[in-house]
Structure 1
Amino acid sequence: MDLLQINLDWWQVAFICFCVITLIQLIYYWGIFRKLAYFKPREREHTQQHPVSVIICARDEAGNLARNLPGVLFQQYPSTHELIVVNHNSQDDTRYLLEEFRKTFKSLEIVNLEHEAKGIPGKKYPLSIGIREANHEILLLTDADCVPASENWLYRMQDAYQPGIEIVLGYGAYRKKPGLLNKLIRFDTFHTAMQYLSFALSGMPYMGVGRNLSYKRQLFLENKGFSSINHLPGGDDDLFIHKVAHKHNTGVVIDENAFTLSEPKLKFGDWFRQKTRHYSTGKYYSPKFRFLLGLYAFSQFMFYPAFIICLIFFSWQWSLVVFGSRFITQAIISYKCMNRLQEKDLWPWWWLFDIWMFFYYCIFASAIWKKPRQNWN
């Protein structure tokens, strides 16, 4: 009898744990991710056009530049602006391609770097050079494999600079293509954006993505650029923003005309290496955000194992009630967030992606301790 009572108590404890895990998830969805789901831009009394320096770093990117550079050069922006392309020791035809573009587009400035910076892996060195060469205070960053989603990208991003704003976060999407891997990559990109955009809208900015990011040149110089993270392969976007962003100086642009589009990886191994490099910087976040992001990931990882245990060994009726509360919440918030970020074709499969996240965390857990590649291309 005592043994039966002990077993019963253990399953009750398991159910309580399941309820706590679900409650944590509901708090994140309704307390934070709701900010993106129900985001409404403020009504603007007037628009503005600041001088802008667009900066792209490239290494052996002749093919991508040939496809994507026209999308940046043909922006509908009548005010003063320039495009700086930093050609970092390319061995392909990048230099000659840029020189051909320069004959037609006088706003294109080319910086050719023919040596490496010792002890500074990644693209922080060429990006720093590009920023120092910039003639304007507002910097708009993207990558060679990205193209603006519209000809109004530059205008929409710079228009977010209100008094006090020094950083503007944008969304860098991936192109829609057939196949399961494409959907997994796009869902992962959406899921990451849902977190950093929602946190920023909640007054807790912690990262940005270099595919679509803007900040002021003076902010970069005042914080001595990337000097504190020069020894790391990555971090030129997320760790720098993590260091300098706060609720008063960070703005968010959620507008399909202000997105950028990139070509997704075609092989799982390539995507794995890319994600490993990105996740390697997370351990350098502040304790506050390591806790907040870790708690969300842990509760998401444990949700389905806890649900299955309670479903089998406790009360399946009560387990389904708790499961249903999260299911309905997640369906609503995910639909609205995907609609905001123009990823609504993923929504019919969101529940499968949610299950996939358990395996995702298992696969990419090694990124926490695995040493990333030193090169940035």
Structure 2
Amino acid sequence: MERKMITILYLLTVLFFILSASYKLKYLKRMQKVKDKKVSLIIPARNEEDNIEEIINSALAQNYKKENYEIIIVNDRSEDKTQEIIEKYEEKSENLKLINIKNKSDLLSGKQNALDIGIKKAKGEIILITDADCILNKNWIKTIIRCFYSENIGLVVGKTEITEEKRKNILYKIQVMVHTILLEFAQVPIMFGFYTSGMGNNLAFLRSGYFKIGGFEGLGDSILDDEILVRGFARSGYKIAAAFTKNATIQTKPMKTWKNMLKQHKRWIVGSLNIFTPSGLLALLFYFVNLYSIVLIFTNTYLFLFKLLGDYLLINYLDKKGKNILNIFDKILLSFLATFYLFFVETLALVNPRTKWKNEKYKLKRKQGEM
């Protein structure tokens, strides 16, 4: 009976990813009919002196009319040379604007407060948001905007990949696989009208819709700005679209240490800790599945090995679909580590939900979903 249940689970997972592969075709023709719109790109930044120039350069190099988009960088009390670097670009760029935050918000997390301030100052019909450690494809804005092919589409979820690294160690490979999995689980539910989350560094939405749903203050508390935005727009009757084509993809830099990767993954899980949301239920399901898998080591070794085989096949599929960077040893190692790593991170998130953004601590204070 247990073997049948696990077999069914993996068959459903395979079907899940097959459906995701067909999603792109549905929207390609519709995307070609959308005209350019006035847009505002919001980039929150805190202590980003090592990254800020790359994101600015890629934002200024967009294949989009300069008069149709503005770049707003919100500097959240940086303690390094971030502000100084941005000011140099602002002096010579007509469509780039710097906003400096002086005080910490009592209601919103650092990133959400920065985004909220930027959105309120924006002039564009559509808001695009990304992070300061990302690099944009030159056709990113044009591609994302074309996903607003219908008046009832309020938000578009984009795709994010880890940047290519010369040194592809196991730390790098884990992050690549995690991003691949997250994208798949964001894409397929949208096909069936179930809106869970997206990638917080690649989102676009109607500015008018943001105020209609009450902004971040009206959406309740969550560390994950993408999740509450997606749910907020969906609850208000807007449709959500996904832009997972090559030109809609942006690059994000990987964490350089195990400690930072662990903090990042914990923050993502903490943000979804609400059993009354799809992502919360999914996180809870995976927690008990991983716990059960660990118990199998001591109670049913053969069934545990059967699960490892399923994990191996899934990782192999995702690797082939993604960057194709894993060798056989990597796949075997990740198949074994996945259960233990996920269970460990999920346990940390449950025991200590306090998390950090740019070295500032935050903890959920308000109930998610309150309006």
Pair 1:131 & 2:119 matched: yes
Q: Which amino acid aligns with 1:115?
A: N
- Larger Rg belongs to: 1
1:94, CA displacement in angstroms? 2.0
Q: Which residue of 2 aligns with 1:368?
A: 350
Give the fraction of aligned pairs with identical amino acids, expressed as a percent. 21
8 Å CA contact retained: 2:43, 2:74: yes
SS class of match (2:260): helix
2:104 corresponds to? 116
What is aligned with 2:132?
A: 144
| 1:176-209 residue CA offsets vs partner (Å, 9 max, x unmatched) | 3221100011111111221112222232121122
CA shift at 1:37, angstroms? 2.7
Q: Is the 8 A contact 1:276 1:367 kept in 2?
A: yes
After TM superposition, the structure 1 stretch with the greater mean CA deviation from structure 2, 77-86 or 246-255, is 246-255
Task: Letter of the 2:47 partner, please give it.
Answer: D
- How far is the alpha carbon of 1:34 from its aligned partner? 2.2
Residues 292, 29 of structure 1: CA spacing in aligned structure 2 closer, same or farther, 3 A cutoff?
A: farther
**Corresponding residue to 2:198 among 198, 208, 214:** 208
Q: What's the RMSD between the two structures over aligned residues? A: 2.9
Structure 2 CA distance, aligned partners of 1:251 and 1:170? 9
2:25 aligned with 1:41: yes
Show the counterpart of 1:9. Answer: none
Tell me by how many angstroms 1:165 deviates.
0.9
TM-score for the superposition, normalised by structure 2: 0.84
Q: How far 1:346 moved relative to its partner?
A: 4.0
Report what 2:270 is aligned to: 280
Query: Quick check: 252-261 or 353-362, which moved more?
Result: 353-362
Alignment coverage as a number of residue pairs: 349
Q: Choose from 356, 359, 364 the match for 2:340.
A: 359
Change (3 A) 1:135 1:248: closer
The secondary structure found in structure 2 opposite 1:238 is: helix
Assess if the C-alpha contact under 8 Å between 1:171 and 1:193 holds in 2.
yes
Whole-Å separation in 2 of the counterparts to 1:362 and 1:125: 31
Taking structure 1 as the reference length, the TM-score comes to 0.82
The 10-residue stretch of structure 1 (91-100 or 366-375) with the greater mean CA deviation from structure 2: 366-375
Distance 1:60 1:17 in 2: 50
Deviation readout 1:104-138 (Å, 9 max, x if unpaired): 21110111112222343331111100000110121
Instruction: Give 1:191-206 correspondences, 5 Å limit.
Output: 191-206=181-196
Matches within 5 A, 1:48-197: 48-78=35-65, 80-148=68-136, 150-163=137-150, 164-177=152-165, 178=167, 179-197=169-187
Distance in 1, matches of 2:311 and 2:219, equals 40
CA shift digits 1:312-357 (9 cap, x unpaired)? 5x9x9xx96x987x4797378535xx53xx4233486445433321
1:98 counterpart SS class: helix
Structure 2: gaps spanning 5 or more residues? 360-371
In structure 2, what residue type is equivalent to 1:334? L
> Corresponding residue for 1:345?
325
3-state SS, counterpart of residue 50 of structure 2:
helix
Say which of 199, 203, 213 aligns to 1:223: 213
Tell me the amino acid that sits aligned with residue 229 of structure 2: F
Amino acid at match of 1:291: L
Q: Please say if 1:23 is aligned against 2:8.
A: yes
Structure 2 residue aligned with 1:241, among 230, 233, 236? 230
Q: How far, CA to CA, are the matches of 1:21 and 1:91 in structure 2?
A: 50
- Unpaired runs of 5+ residues, structure 1, are 1-15
Cα distance change of structure 1 residues 297 and 331 upon mapping to structure 2, 3 Å threshold: same
Partner residue of 2:366? none
Could you report, residue by residue, the CA deviation over 1:273-300 in whole angstroms, capped at 9, with x for unpaired residues? 1221221111125255433453355446
Asked if 2 retains the 8 angstrom alpha-carbon contact of 1:208 and 1:238, the reply is: yes
Whether the aligned pair in 1 keeps the contact of 2:74 and 2:118 (CA below 8 Å) is yes
Q: Give the C-alpha shift of residue 47 in structure 1.
A: 4.1
Contact 1:64 1:145 in 2 (8 A): yes
Separation (CA, whole Å) in 2 of partners of 1:127 and 1:40: 29
Instruction: Name the SS for the 1:171 alignment partner.
Output: strand
* Structure having greater relative contact order (Cα 8 Å, sep ≥ 6): 1
In structure 2, what is the Cα distance between the partners aligned to 1:97 and 1:328? Answer: 45
